[in-house]
């Protein structure tokens, strides 16, 4: 029983007459019944019994008491710091409403309240601060609040870890492409039929390396995914990428506050294969995402021809010909070096037809003769047969290892059921065997597909080499640019002369076409160029005989 005739004082000894209320609940406490209305009723009753005048209140709904990152608590401390003297004390239902951290209480809250001569009163706990026993009891209240919070944290972490081990991701909202449903009183994550198709398409296109996040978002909106944004694409292709393989990472802090992340095998259905996941991760590690900005005019030689004096690319522009003869494409350097007489030539225009003729001559010179093509075919047949024999031998070895690993996993599960091994040993070995199994499965699948893909690309490459110039004119401007960047190390325009430096053309073209991608429209693959061919094999000079000033 409280002594309702008891009088309370501020830290300096002034009698308390005016008070404000501070109320806080977290989500868990609301479930337990520690509602805002209940706390306000208790605090107001305490103030009424002691004839205090309530001048205001602060309410923080859904905030933890372990830290001070709460808007109304910050407002309360700001009012105290600004010396608003319309209250002498702050009433809380219990001291843990104000703070659940002993360090914050003694280093921040208590010194600030004492300096402002404002008391802390609890509606349900001891408030006698005039003797050592009362101060000891107040410290115990704060310590008990922190202990309770720490115990709840340990229980929460243990529950979350167990949930992850069972394959259920504890995230509040599943990534785009999934939705949460309730089945047999369990919350399950399943593919969302409205968005999963777009997620799969985004990841497949992203793996080519030629689309930026902004381009993918724009493309998806055109195709019907109207809510798709650049940030959403970034989350799909990077932040949530592993989730789409059926696995997920989850980070938890232990009792010492050390945050650790661990991979778990989820029960949700994967949207992409492990092969596609590894391909995208490799792409991110190499930092190769080629994407160009959308421009008004798709000019063929954009980003190709440089002025050697200032090392800047020439700018393309469309100009109307005389007597309404149509539009013509010209290229000029807009950044001549000041004070350099020799750079005045940069002001002259290079007509695109001059460049076209130079490119045709280059392509004709590097085309492969029928005799050379037959020799290359024979060499590749020999290589193909050797590679096929090796791949078949390797597939047999992998099949044996896969069988052993599956037997080990089955035996491991039986040992766990029989109590021969503990949970920690089971988990550790299971992760090891599963990781090896996934790697070997990916390798086995790749070996099964590689030879067929390689053979098809060889046929396409041989067909291409018969008429390189003809194929070039069938391409779009973007594909032509890729081919020219592949074959030519640089274009320089100086003194009314266009110099084109050509690489070791055929092997560069062949290696890129067969082993990395085809820039020709046989199938949409990634233009990840790894040519390594030496530059400077041949240099072609084409003089602009009729420059337009």
CATH number reported for the structural domain that contains residue 107 in this entry: 3.40.50.1390
Closest to 527 (Cα-Cα) out of 476, 466, 492: 476
Q: Does residue 357 sit in the same domain as residue 500?
A: yes
Q: Does residue 149 sit in the same domain as residue 207?
A: no
> Averaged over 207-213, what is the pLDDT?
83
Q: Does residue 354 sit in the same domain as residue 412?
A: no
Helix 423-466, helix 274-286: angle, nearest 10: 80
What separation in angstroms does the CA of 57 have from each of 20, 23, 380, 538? 5, 8, 83, 83
Greater confidence (40 vs 298) lies with 40
Q: Does residue 350 sit in the same domain as residue 361?
A: yes
What is the reported pLDDT for 119? 92
pLDDT of 547 over the 50 cut: no
Q: Does residue 481 sit in the same domain as residue 350?
A: yes
Which of 466, 481, 512 is where one domain is finished? 466
Distance from CA of residue 175 to its chain's centroid? Answer: 12
Q: Does residue 148 sit in the same domain as residue 204?
A: no
Q: Does residue 311 sit in the same domain as residue 278?
A: no
Q: Write the CATH number for 208.
A: 3.90.1750.20
Phi, psi for 264 (deg, rounded to 5) = -130, 150
- Answer whether 247's CB lies under 8 Å from 435's CB: no
Residue 196 lies in a domain: yes
Residue 193 lies in a domain: yes
Which of 466, 497, 529 is where one domain is finished? 466
Alpha-carbon distance of 55 to 21, in angstroms, equals 8
Residue 294 lies in a domain: no
Terminal-residue alpha carbon distance, the chain:
101
List the strands of the sheet with 53-61, edge to edge.
53-61, 18-25, 89-92, 119-122
Residue 296 lies in a domain: no
Q: Does residue 104 sit in the same domain as residue 244?
A: no
The 10s digit of each residue's pLDDT in 155-173 is 777 778 888 888 888 887 8
10 Å Cβ neighbour count for 241?
19
Q: Does residue 474 sit in the same domain as residue 462?
A: no
Strands 89-92 and 53-61: unpaired
Q: How many domains does the chain have?
A: 4
Confidence band, pLDDT 50/70/90 cuts, at residue 292: very low
The 10s digit of each residue's pLDDT in 185-208 is 778 899 999 999 999 999 998 888
Residue 352 lies in a domain: yes
Alpha-carbon distance of 176 to 235, in angstroms, equals 9
Residue 292 lies in a domain: no
Q: Does residue 54 sit in the same domain as residue 127?
A: yes
Q: Does residue 111 sit in the same domain as residue 195?
A: no
Residue 172 lies in a domain: no
Greater confidence (42 vs 306) lies with 42
- Answer whether 93's CB lies under 8 Å from 39's CB: yes
Domain that holds residue 255: 178-286
Q: Does residue 151 sit in the same domain as residue 282?
A: no
The 10s digit of each residue's pLDDT in 73-131 is 999 999 988 877 689 999 999 988 998 888 888 888 999 998 889 999 999 888 877 77
Share of the chain above pLDDT 70, in %: 76
Which of 286, 314, 333 is where one domain is finished? 286
10 Å Cβ neighbour count for 29?
17
> Averaged over 524-528, what is the pLDDT?
32
Encoding tokens for residue 114?
A: 């004492």
For residue 102, count CB atoms less than 10 angstroms from its CB and return exposed for 0-12, middle for 13-18, buried for 19 or more. Answer: middle
DSSP, residue by residue, 70-127: -HHHHHHHHHHHTT--S-SEEEESSGGGT-S-HHHIIIIIHHHHHHHT-EEEESSS--
Residue 146 lies in a domain: yes
Beta bridge partners of 141: none
Q: Give me the residue label for tokens 């989850």.
A: 250
């Amino acid at each position: 029983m409280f002594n309702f005739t008891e009088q309370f004082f501020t830290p300096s000894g002034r009698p308390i007459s005016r008070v404000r209320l501070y109320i806080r609940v977290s989500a868990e406490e609301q479930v337990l019944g520690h509602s805002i209305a209940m706390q306000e009723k208790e605090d107001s009753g305490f103030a009424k019994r002691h004839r205090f005048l309530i001048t205001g209140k602060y309410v923080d709904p859904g905030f933890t008491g372990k830290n001070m990152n709460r808007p109304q608590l910050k407002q309360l401390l700001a009012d105290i710091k600004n010396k608003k003297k319309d209250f002498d004390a702050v009433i809380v239902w219990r001291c843990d409403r104000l703070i659940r951290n002993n360090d914050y209480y003694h280093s921040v809250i208590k010194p600030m309240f004492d300096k402002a001569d404002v008391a802390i009163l609890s509606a349900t706990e001891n408030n006698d601060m005039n003797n050592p026993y009362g101060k000891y009891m107040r410290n115990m209240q704060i310590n008990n609040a922190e202990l309770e919070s720490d115990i709840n944290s340990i229980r929460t972490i243990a529950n979350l870890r167990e949930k992850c081990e069972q394959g259920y991701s504890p995230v509040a909202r599943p990534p785009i492409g999934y939705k949460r449903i309730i089945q047999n009183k369990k919350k399950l994550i399943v593919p969302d039929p409205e968005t999963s198709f777009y997620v799969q398409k985004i990841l497949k296109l992203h793996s080519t390396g030629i689309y930026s996040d902004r381009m993918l978002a724009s493309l998806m909106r055109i195709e019907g995914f109207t809510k798709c944004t650049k940030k959403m694409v970034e989350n799909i292709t990077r932040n949530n990428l592993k989730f789409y393989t059926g696995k997920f990472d989850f980070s938890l802090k232990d009792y010492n506050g050390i945050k650790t992340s661990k991979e778990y095998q989820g029960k949700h259905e994967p949207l992409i294969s492990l092969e596609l996941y590894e391909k995208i991760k490799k792409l991110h590690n190499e930092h190769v995402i080629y994407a160009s900005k959308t421009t008004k005019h798709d000019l063929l030689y954009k980003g190709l021809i440089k002025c050697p004096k200032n090392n800047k690319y020439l700018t393309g522009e469309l100009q109307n010909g005389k007597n309404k003869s149509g539009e013509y494409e010209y290229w000029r350097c807009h950044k001549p070096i000041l004070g350099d007489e020799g750079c005045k030539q940069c002001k002259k225009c290079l007509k695109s037809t001059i460049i076209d003729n130079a490119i045709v001559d280059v392509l004709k010179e590097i085309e492969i003769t029928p005799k050379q093509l037959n020799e290359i075919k024979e060499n590749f047949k020999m290589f193909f047969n050797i590679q096929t024999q090796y791949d078949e031998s390797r597939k047999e070895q992998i099949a044996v290892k896969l069988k052993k690993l599956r037997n080990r996993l089955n035996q491991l599960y039986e040992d766990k059921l029989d109590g021969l091994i503990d949970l920690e040993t089971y988990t550790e070995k299971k992760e090891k065997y599963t990781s090896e199994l996934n790697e070997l499965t990916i390798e086995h699948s790749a070996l099964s597909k590689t030879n067929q893909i390689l053979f098809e690309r060889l046929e396409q490459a041989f067909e291409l080499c018969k008429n390189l110039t003809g194929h070039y004119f069938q391409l779009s401007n973007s594909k032509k640019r890729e081919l020219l960047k592949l074959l030519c190390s640089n274009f320089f325009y100086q003194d009314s002369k266009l110099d084109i430096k050509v690489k070791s053309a055929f092997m560069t073209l062949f290696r890129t076409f067969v082993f990395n991608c085809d820039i020709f429209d046989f199938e949409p693959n990634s233009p990840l160029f790894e040519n390594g061919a030496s530059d400077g094999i041949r240099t072609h000079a084409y003089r602009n005989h009729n420059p337009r000033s």
